[in-house]
Amino acid sequence: MTGAHVMVAQLTAAQNFGPQAARDLWWLIIVKTVVVFAFLVVTTLLMIWAERRVVARMQQRIGPNRVGPQGLLQSLFDGIKLALKEDIIPSAADKAVFILAPILSAIPAFMAFAMIPFGPTVSIAGRHTNLQLTDLSVAVLFILAMSSMGIYGIVLGGWSSGSTYPLLGGVRSAAQMVSYEIAMGLSFVGVFLYTGTLSTSGIVDAQAHRWILLEALPSFIIYAIAMVGETNRAPFDLPEGETELVGGFHTEYSSLKFALFFLAEYINMVTVSALMTTLFLGGWRAPWPISLWASANTGWWPLLWFVIKIGIVLFVFIWLRGTLPRFRYDQFMKFGWKVLIPVNLIWIVIEAALKMTSRTGTFVVVGIAVALVLIAAYMAEALQERNRRLAEIDAEEAAERPFDPFAGGFPIPPMPGQQLPTQRPVPVGVATSGHEITGSLPRDFSGDFTSDTISDDDIDDIDDLDDLDDVNGGETDEPDGGRS
Amino acid sequence: MVFSYVPVLALFLLAGGFAVFSIIAGRLSGPRRYNRAKYDAYECGIEPTPQPIGGGRFPVKYYLTAMLFIVFDIEIIFLYPWAVAFAQKGGATVFLFVEMVLFIVTVFIAYVYVWRRGGLEWD
């Protein structure tokens, strides 16, 4: 090895791993922990403000602009206001769990961020350290675990409130997050197939030349959808759909307990955005035109690229909320289970096959691809056939049944293919002939008798009647029923 | 390696301390004016529906979703080490590939079965 080689090797080592975090000193750990914590809290405050301002602009409003310059301090003062509000624990609540739930929700939200690399190795007060709290070899798994733990807070919060809306919101939220966590976890497989590591810093290093976004576009798209579902954000904000569930799982929460849930929700958003940046968008590495500048990926600069990238992803979150209407719950679950998961699995196989191509003959890959397409085609065919049969059966049944416009107790229009009965019940004729009918109509009034069974005498009789109950018997049953 | 978890522990303590502090502070800083209606469950102003103890029974759909989640989560856990091994030098062999395709197809059959039996339908 020549001297130049050694130097290059040392340089790369210093840039990428440094002295491998050289066991940070205790004060460095504390400083980094506090910085990460502060970063999350401040980002949350800014994010809430940005969201309100941006959504306001999208809706032709101004948004909060009174507290601080451009309203920047709005969320801080909202937090202070929340602290000064009464802390209510409903009498029906399970007190211990009710108090525990917001804590359970907030802690994992903070902890997931320990794995996110903010930048390369830098020098702080003469010591080399990674701009990352800790560099685990199972970092992505840890983040997934933390996001699963966060669900506990939501479910327990909804359950312990002893109230209908929070319970429904909590259960919905759990089912939703659990479903989209699978899509999210599967989309990571596409990333690991390229990086060969679960360590976040390793994944960033693997993107030195090209973002994984370009290598595994389907994984990226699935992750982008799943992360919105996972964070319960519009258009997937069903657990707190205001029109359906008031506030969802946190309906009964007030004061700083509510603030903790709110904080956790926004931190989760920041976390999934940072994870997207790390896994797909090159992490802290400078984007292409800037990366031509030699020192773009050294020192403190990467921190800037990283924050800008997170900001862009967060902006998309806001944008989605300002643009899209809420999904219906069954559509949402159907999308997660029937589209995202199978597409994801098929993509994993294709990606692995592509990766193998360089080594083995293309024919293996082509054969497998053809087999997969055939299986998919067969399944689609079978499904279509089944749906067609079901539709036929439905149509037949509908055709056989005579249409009764009053079947549900009130008049309804006919479905396509159904015919309105041509013969009119009596009261229409009576009404057009200028007679007034008062009193309530009996339930079995319609359908039974038709105009040709009623003579003019009957109509005269009706004039005399106070009680229309008698009309049915106008010709046969009880001739004198109503008159007596 | 245990050392790597020390910063995680530090963040846990900081976040936990913050959360506990917030809850205690919220109890202390707010006013306390008793009003029976205020402590009722919120239902848009009407008398709240009585709740069964422990939340009562959930629709069975949610249990089904939980079961399916476990099945697929385990699949994911198997896929991760495979993906890492597959991506490493010399890992992308036909054997490794076919092995995982067989595994994915096995789970996929169960998935198709659930789909056809209507297990993925929400109404």
* Contact assessment for residue A49 and residue A72, using Cβ atoms and an 8 Å cutoff: yes
- Do A187 and A309 sit in the same domain of this protein? yes
Answer whether residue A312 shows pLDDT above 90. yes
Please give the residue that has the higher pLDDT: either A355 or A40.
Answer: A40
Q: What are the Cα distances from residue B19, in Å, to A98, A100, A298, B24, B115?
A: 14, 10, 36, 9, 42
Q: How many degrees, rounded to 5, is the angle at CA A142 between CA A123 and CA A278?
A: 55
Q: Is residue B77 part of a domain?
A: yes
A480: containing domain: 423-484
* A18-27, A302-311, A314-323, B111-120: the lowest-pLDDT one: A18-27
> Average per-residue pLDDT in chain A?
78
Q: Is residue A235 part of a domain?
A: yes
Of B6, B51, B80, the CB nearest to A163: B51
Q: Is residue A14 part of a domain?
A: no
Cβ separation B30–A114 shorter than 8 A: no
CATH number, position B93? 1.20.58.1610
* Contact assessment for residue A140 and residue A198, using Cβ atoms and an 8 Å cutoff: yes
Answer whether residue A133 shows pLDDT above 70. yes
Q: How many degrees, rounded to 5, is the angle at CA B64 between CA B59 and CA B69?
A: 130
- Do A72 and A146 sit in the same domain of this protein? yes
Closest CA to A162 of B41, B109, B34, B111: B41
Instruction: Calculate mean pLDDT across residues A401-415.
Output: 74
Q: Is residue A4 part of a domain?
A: no
> What pairs with residue A131 in β-bridges?
A119
Cβ separation A134–B79 shorter than 8 A: no
Of A134, A252, A360, the CB nearest to B8: A134
d(CA A178, CA A341): 13
Of A163, A197, A255, the CB nearest to B30: A255
Residue A412: half-sphere exposure toward Cβ, Cα within 13 Å? 12
- Do A357 and A478 sit in the same domain of this protein? no
pLDDT given at position A310:
92
Cβ separation A329–B122 shorter than 8 A: yes
- Do A350 and A443 sit in the same domain of this protein? no
Pairing of strands A127-131, A119-124: antiparallel
Cβ separation B12–A107 shorter than 8 A: yes
- Do A335 and A253 sit in the same domain of this protein? yes
pLDDT given at position B6:
85
B57: containing domain: 2-116
Q: Write out the H or E segment, with its range, that includes residue A87.
A: none
Q: Does residue A235 have a cis peptide bond before it, meaning omega lies within 30 degrees of 0?
A: yes
- Do A209 and A340 sit in the same domain of this protein? yes
ipTM: 0.87
pLDDT given at position A67:
86
pLDDT given at position A49:
92
Q: Is residue B122 part of a domain?
A: no
Cβ separation B5–A88 shorter than 8 A: no
> Which of B20, B42, B47, B120 best tests the A interface by mutation, with the highest count of A CBs <10 A?
B42
Cβ separation A182–B48 shorter than 8 A: no
Helix axes A217-230, A164-195, angle to 10 degrees: 160
Q: What are the Cα distances from residue B26, in Å, to A84, A91, A256, B23?
A: 7, 18, 5, 5
Residue A272: half-sphere exposure toward Cβ, Cα within 13 Å? 28
Q: Is residue B38 part of a domain?
A: yes
d(CA A226, CA A179): 9
pLDDT given at position B55:
59
pLDDT given at position A470:
46
What's the pLDDT band for A366 if we cut at 50, 70, 90? Answer: confident
pLDDT given at position A10:
43
Answer whether residue A447 shows pLDDT above 70. no
Q: Is residue B60 part of a domain?
A: yes
Instruction: Report pTM.
Output: 0.74
Chain A hits for B94, CB-CB cut-off 8 Å, are: 356, 360, 364
* Contact assessment for residue A193 and residue A355, using Cβ atoms and an 8 Å cutoff: yes
Q: Is residue A208 part of a domain?
A: yes
Q: Is residue B121 part of a domain?
A: no
Cβ separation A189–B80 shorter than 8 A: yes
Please give the residue that has the higher pLDDT: either A419 or A88.
Answer: A88
- Do A141 and A207 sit in the same domain of this protein? yes
Answer whether residue A365 shows pLDDT above 70. no
pLDDT given at position A477:
46
* Contact assessment for residue A167 and residue A101, using Cβ atoms and an 8 Å cutoff: no
Residue B12: half-sphere exposure toward Cβ, Cα within 13 Å? 8
* Chain B nearest-CA residue for A329: B122
Count of structural domains, chain A = 2
d(CA B44, CA A108): 32
How many Cβ contacts (< 8 angstroms) between chains A and B?
A: 221
> What pairs with residue A128 in β-bridges?
A123
Low-confidence ranges of chain B (pLDDT < 70): 1, 51-56, 123
Please give the residue that has the higher pLDDT: either A232 or A55.
Answer: A55
Instruction: Calculate mean pLDDT across residues A106-121.
Output: 87
Cβ neighbours of residue A283 under 8 Å, at least 6 residues apart? A117, A200, A203, A204, A207, A277, A306
- Do A462 and A315 sit in the same domain of this protein? no
Answer whether residue A9 shows pLDDT above 70. no
- Do A282 and A205 sit in the same domain of this protein? yes
Of A179, A189, A260, the CB nearest to B83: A189
Q: Is residue A439 part of a domain?
A: yes
The distance between the two most distant Cα atoms of chain B, rounded to a whole number of Å, is: 71
Of A90, A341, A348, the CB nearest to B41: A90
Please give the residue that has the higher pLDDT: either A193 or B120.
Answer: A193
Does the CB of B72 have a partner CB in chain A at under 8 Å?
yes
Give the three-state DSSP class for B57: coil
Last residue of a domain, one of A311, A337, A372: A372
Single-letter code of the amino acid located at A79? G
* Chain B nearest-CA residue for A184: B76
Tens digits of residue pLDDT in A44-54? 999 999 999 99
Instruction: Calculate mean pLDDT across residues A134-154.
Output: 88
* A319-323, A389-393, A405-409: the lowest-pLDDT one: A405-409
Q: Is residue A400 part of a domain?
A: no
Q: Is residue B6 part of a domain?
A: yes
Q: Is residue B123 part of a domain?
A: no
Count of structural domains, chain B = 1
* Contact assessment for residue A286 and residue A305, using Cβ atoms and an 8 Å cutoff: yes
